[in-house]
């Protein structure tokens, strides 16, 4: 059984998604919120709890590259978060290009009739689902070929 966790790391939140035991589909499970951008101890502790609860075997972290493929400040912070995760959990963290996932997540919520003021409540979790699903789909195709 493989369980993969997808994470969308934002400045105040982390969207969390989890794969089904077969590694085919991603479901959003939680949005971890924190008061300030630099307070990560509780965030990391919560991720560790979820890893234990869902018996997660690896992590996929959204990598927010700029549209021109360069790495900006947000991506640098995400790489630092990746190192913290690997140190704390001992699990492999795969970086996954997350460009346009927030756009896609917002569109899905809009099409689902979620009102604008409520959208930001869910967008990080849905973005984590898109990140993880993209990863699962690409690895599923590799197995098929």
Structural domain count of the chain? 1
The parent domain of residue 127 ranges over: 4-144
Q: What does the pLDDT look like over 89-101, one tens digit per residue?
A: 999 999 998 876 7
Higher pLDDT, 36 or 87: 87
Higher pLDDT, 69 or 145: 69
Alpha helices in the chain (DSSP H): 41-54, 73-89, 101-111, 116-144
Which CATH number belongs to the domain containing residue 62 in this structure? Answer: 3.30.420.140
Kindly indicate the confidence band of residue 30, based on its pLDDT and cuts at 50, 70 and 90: very high
- Work out the angle at residue 61's Cα, subtended by the Cα atoms of residues 116 and 140, and round it to the nearest 5 degrees: 100
């Amino acid at each position: 059984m493989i369980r993969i966790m997808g994470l969308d790391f934002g400045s105040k939140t982390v969207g969390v998604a989890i794969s089904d035991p077969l590694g085919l589909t991603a479901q959003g499970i939680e949005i971890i919120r924190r008061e300030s951008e630099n307070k990560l101890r509780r965030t990391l502790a919560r991720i560790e709890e979820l890893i234990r609860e869902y018996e997660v075997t690896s992590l996929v972290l959204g990598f927010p590259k700029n549209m021109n493929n360069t790495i900006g400040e947000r991506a640098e912070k995400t790489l630092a978060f990746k190192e913290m995760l690997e140190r704390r959990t001992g699990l492999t963290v795969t970086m996954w290009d997350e460009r346009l996932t927030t756009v896609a997540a917002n569109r899905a919520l809009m099409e689902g009739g979620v009102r604008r003021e409520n959208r930001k409540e869910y967008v990080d979790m849905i973005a984590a689902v898109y990140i993880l699903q993209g990863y699962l789909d690409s690895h599923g195709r590799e197995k098929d070929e």
